[in-house]
Amino acid sequence: MAGVLKAKHQRLVLLSLALVVLLAAGLLAAWALRNQASYFYVPSEIIAAPPEPDRAVRLGGMVENGSLRTAADGVTIMFAVQDGKARVPVTFKGIVPSLFVEGSGVVAEGRMRADGTFIADNLLAKHDENYVPREMQDMTMEQAEKVVRETK
Amino acid sequence: MHGFANPARFLRIARWLMPLCMGAGLVVAVAALGWGLFVAPAERLQGETVRIVYLHVPAAWLGMAGWMSIAAASFAELVWRHPLAGIAARASAVPGAVFTGVCLVTGSLWGRPAWGTWWVWDGRLTSMLVLLFLYFGWMALSQASEAADGGQNKAPAIFGLVGAVNIPIIHYSVIWWNSQHQPPSITVGKSAMSGDFLYPLLFAMLGFTLVFAGCVLARMRAILADQQAEARLRRKARADVEAF
């Protein structure tokens, strides 16, 4: 068969096959990493399989609306992180990033206490994929999303 | 395609196409940046820092497009032995690496105000940094194999194809894995980005893409000119030796 094929067609077939195999290997490796390569745990994962109390982990999710409180000392804050299925109470002492607000995403670095509270040493704000101008900020989220949908 | 196997024909077209791409690209990119920096609104949560998107996203796209060009050229080189393919790959490497570097730097500058950190080792940032190192490795390998032997240099082409595996990993890193970086705002046919940001961004991407194409064409001409000068010197040296 190879004798019938022109050399450049043979190279085309072989190289295409090699590329498909290579891509499949890359995707399989990435698939195998799907749990290890995540940057943080979401609340439902941390509740289903709590890490050992002193292990440093990251917890990511949305800051639950209405959960943010400041303690009497003025610098410690308490809030809950939720992913729609579970919620984890978080305590943090320090300066929060400016994008840290209720209802938006957060990644907390710290450890789980035995009583189920997460003690954060550091907070990172996460912003979502939505970009909305300031003029629309007084609209409700649904209105803003509608405007964004219409502009696509 | 093989009409271009003759470099003279390619050079005739590149002579006017290069300045056209470069000029049009610079005009569009500068206009889009002006639009983005001075006319487009501030973002609801991020405020003015959102404006870095008009440089960050085109740079990210071209960093990845640069490697896709290397991979496509490598494929053409291995299968069809196209004489310009290896030159196109070498010409794409430096602009691709520069845009990848711009993407990493602007992303870091953006991460500080938006997230509260310059750098995190999440899937997206790490895979993009890997892309920069792949460029460095590829440039070193292509230079070394060129120095070793002008004719048979398959190693950079194979490296170019293998490295392309990183491109879908960069793209899907924010979808497969929980990451600090947000998922894509612009996907085929829809945008989570308001048109106030989207249109200047699309123009910036178009402008920088044209600039990138202009750079690649200019570098291809320079490499071809180098090769011609080299060949002429060799001929001259041989003639001198024979005359001696």
Which residues of chain A does B114 touch, with a Cβ-Cβ cutoff of 8 Å?
97, 99, 125, 127
Q: With contact defined as beta carbons under 8 Å apart, do A96 and B85 qualify?
A: no
Residue-wise pLDDT for B119-172, tens only, equals: 999 889 999 999 999 999 999 999 888 766 555 678 999 999 999 999 999 998
A152–B contact, CB cutoff 8 A: yes
| Per-residue pLDDT, A135 | 65
Establish if A83 belongs to a structural domain: yes
Nearest CB to B43; choose among A12, A129, A131: A131
A57–B contact, CB cutoff 8 A: no
* A119 and A52 within one domain: yes
Model-wide pTM > 0.90: no
Residue-wise pLDDT for A35-49, tens only, equals: 777 888 889 888 888
* A64 and A14 within one domain: no
Establish if B68 belongs to a structural domain: yes
Q: How far is residue A10's CA from residue B75's CA, in Å, rounded to a whole number?
A: 13
Establish if B4 belongs to a structural domain: no
* A118 and A57 within one domain: yes
* A48 and A122 within one domain: yes
| Per-residue pLDDT, A138 | 58
Establish if A144 belongs to a structural domain: no
Q: How far apart are the first and last CA of chain B?
A: 43
Q: Do B172 and A30 touch (CB under 8 A)?
A: yes
* A53 and A10 within one domain: no
Establish if B158 belongs to a structural domain: yes
* A73 and A114 within one domain: yes
pLDDT band of A50, cuts 50, 70, 90:
confident
Sites in chain B below the pLDDT cut of 70: 1-5, 147-152
Listed by number, the residues of chain B in 85-114 with a beta carbon closer than 8 Å to a beta carbon of chain A are 113-114
Neighbours of B159 (CB within 10 A): 20
* A56 and A19 within one domain: no
* A113 and A59 within one domain: yes
Which residues of chain B does A137 touch, with a Cβ-Cβ cutoff of 8 Å?
44
| Per-residue pLDDT, B177 | 85
* A48 and A31 within one domain: no
Establish if A27 belongs to a structural domain: yes
Q: C-alpha distances in angstroms, B161 versus B62, B63, B89?
A: 17, 16, 11
**Domains held by chain A: number:** 2
Q: With contact defined as beta carbons under 8 Å apart, do A108 and A80 qualify?
A: no
Establish if B190 belongs to a structural domain: no
Count CA atoms closer than 13 A to A13's CA, side-chain side. Answer: 7
Listed by number, the residues of chain B in 170-199 with a beta carbon closer than 8 Å to a beta carbon of chain A are 172-173, 176-180, 182-185, 189-198
Q: Do A27 and B196 touch (CB under 8 A)?
A: no
Dig out the tokens for A62 from the structure. 């949305």
Kindly provide the b/e burial profile for residues A73-103, where b requires at least 16 CB atoms within 10 angstroms of the residue's own CB.
eeeebebbbbbeebbbbbbbeeebbebbeee
* A18 and A70 within one domain: no
Establish if B1 belongs to a structural domain: no
- Which domain CATH number covers B32? 1.20.120
Q: Do B46 and A101 touch (CB under 8 A)?
A: no
| Per-residue pLDDT, A1 | 47
Residue-wise pLDDT for A90-136, tens only, equals: 999 988 887 888 888 899 999 988 888 999 998 999 888 888 877 65
* A91 and A33 within one domain: no
* A21 and A72 within one domain: no
Range of the domain at A2: 1-37
Distance (Å) from the alpha carbon of B244 to chain A's nearest alpha carbon: 44
Establish if A131 belongs to a structural domain: no
**Domains held by chain B: number:** 1
Dig out the tokens for B58 from the structure. 């085109």
Q: With contact defined as beta carbons under 8 Å apart, do B183 and B37 qualify?
A: no
Q: With contact defined as beta carbons under 8 Å apart, do A113 and A139 qualify?
A: no
Q: Do B45 and A101 touch (CB under 8 A)?
A: yes
Range of the domain at B58: 24-184+198-243
- Which domain CATH number covers A121? 2.40.50.140
Establish if B51 belongs to a structural domain: yes
Neighbours of B44 (CB within 10 A): 19
